[in-house]
A and B are shown apart, each in its own frame.
Chain A
Amino acid sequence: MGKYIIKRLLMLIPVLLGVSIIVFVITHVFSPDPAPVVLGQHATEESMEAWREANGLNGSVVSQYIDYLGGVFRGDLGNSYYTKQPVAKELSSRFPATIELAVVSVILAAVFGILIGVVSAVKKNSIWDSGGRILSLVGVSIPIFWLGVIMIIVFSGTLHWLPSGGQIDPLLKPKSVTGFNLLDCIITGNTAGLADSLKHMVMPAMALSMYSLAIITRITRTSMLDSMKQDYVRTARAKGISEGKVLTRHVLRTSMNPVVTVIGLQFGSMLGGAVLTERVFAWPGIGSYIVECVQKSDFPVIQGAVLLTATIFVLVNLAVDIIYTFLDPRIKLGKKEG
């Protein structure tokens, strides 16, 4: 197991190299010169030249890439063209907001997704099943930016129940302890801030979880139906085990492998920044920041953010594989099965 994990972690290196080459080429070869954008209306040829020189954009793409890679190995992702702050600092200040949203959304999606999936499977072809299937179809098909805007119009614009965006009322923001807004509210005993943060969390978390919820519902249903046809389930029933136990111990548990994979993948992509959700709800995470940086041609930040996203994705996948071994004792990581 330990060996397997180390092997998988080593695999990160080629993955990240590949990813870094691709983004580097996209930003430095296929994108227009950032100098006029960064320097603005009064950019002159000389000032742009000086700026390119200062930001190492004058050498060949290959030498620029090697410089960049050297920096990455030293833990230096470069500085933002605009704020001059190290990219790592820029990203880490926004990452907690993304994690908070992703965690809440994935919990919502997993709990309700599995519940609805189980009901659909158990009551196959009933009205409950049809409802679940329609819900999952709608959830998968609905574009999140549309859903987000509709939610804002209904819950903020018309009903005035919820704030339309942001993470917390700026005047209620707690002192930063962990960087995680909800945790900081709890630690500092800021109940007004906590309530306000939860209010702000409702719509983005619901919108973001919708797609994952739909997928989890479908996978749970299919997987459950599959398991229910297995011989061991028939055997369990034949032994006289109660239906509840059959479902929870024999069907549900063995159906969970693909579900866990999907939850993991969804969580991974949410951590990479829910670009659309964050933007629509003015959520101050990585996703909305990436959009902003693409618009402003802030190359170092784009590169750093993509590397971060790729790393998270690989790590979450690894975590999913490890969880497998607990769910299904037959799987031994790193060993060929006979």
Chain B
Amino acid sequence: MTTFPPNRVVQDNAAIKPIIQIRNVTKRFGQLAAVDDVSLDIMPGEFFVLLGPSGCGKTTLLRMIAGFELPTEGQILIDGQDMTGVPPNQRPVNMVFQSYAVFPHMNVRDNVAYGLKIARTPKKDIRDRVDEALALVKLDGLGDRMPDQLSGGQRQRVALARSLVMRPKVLLLDEPLSALDAKLRAAMQFELADLQEKVGITFVTVTHDQDEALSMASRIAVVNKGLIAQMATPSDLYEYPANRFVADFVGSVNLFEGKLIVDEPERAVVECPELGRVYINHGVTGPHEGTVHVALRPEKISLYRQGEAPPAPDAPVGHNLADGVIKGMSYLGDITVFQILMPSGQVMRVSRPNLSRFDQEDFTWEDRVSMRWHSSSPVVLLA
């Protein structure tokens, strides 16, 4: 199996065969289509994340790859092999469950060794491979502990080791970090990415947490209502969302409806009744009928006292500017988020880094402010 350096997208390399191919897969529970005609390819060595709100069908998709659910229509191929009719215990993938599902009556070693024992691996090999796996997840020395003597994070490591020891072609992770506290979660995000790099196994993870997805993934598929809303690298997903759902779900965003009044290769202007004229330094591609949405990220807006905003160097006068009154502030330590009420009655969300200790004192409630943004910041959404 060829593996790739992590965090590099290997989508268009014809020489590399995808490790997982999902072809027109539909899963219906009664009338409801949990997964609706989804097709996607996952390449070897990827850290692939299925991101979506709860009930969007992402877990169903993962369980179909593992073999715990059967597709109503379509097929799933793993390493070129059709998995239709192959039960979970014969698939070359392993899963880390949301609850970790560590066997409570076995100690750590026996948990990790379980799959190898079932496969009738020679005793000596089992010992070596279990040691290796425990070292990999930094649990060496804890082999004789029972699961109820471990912390949540340690139990997750047991689940990881138990799967990795099988040397699967793909490791599936169902909400791997959701049960951990915030600090540990942040640490585990790095560690999981690190681990994936070390073992070179393809990881497919399901999560509803966008931070988790952005920090770990080499590629993310955003799933909504059984459909893939967008599939892209983390930065593309954030900077170039394909539709309103993705823009809103990944990160926070200000959305405005408007009419596209200028659309040329080098510039576009959107007239938004609630925001004014938005100037964009590139053309809009794709079919549209005049009505579009403009997405503006809170951190891409600069804040000034009213009237003190310097004219925008990259946009015509009167464009990419808005006035308002600060109606809400939340100080988050590293940044402060402002809710700014505009004359149109719309509220704009603006975040501002606290670069010095006194930055938070610059603005306060009821201050009249001007907002300005760069012409590369707005994203025009057609859907």
A binds B: no
Chain B interface residues toward A at CB < 8 A: none
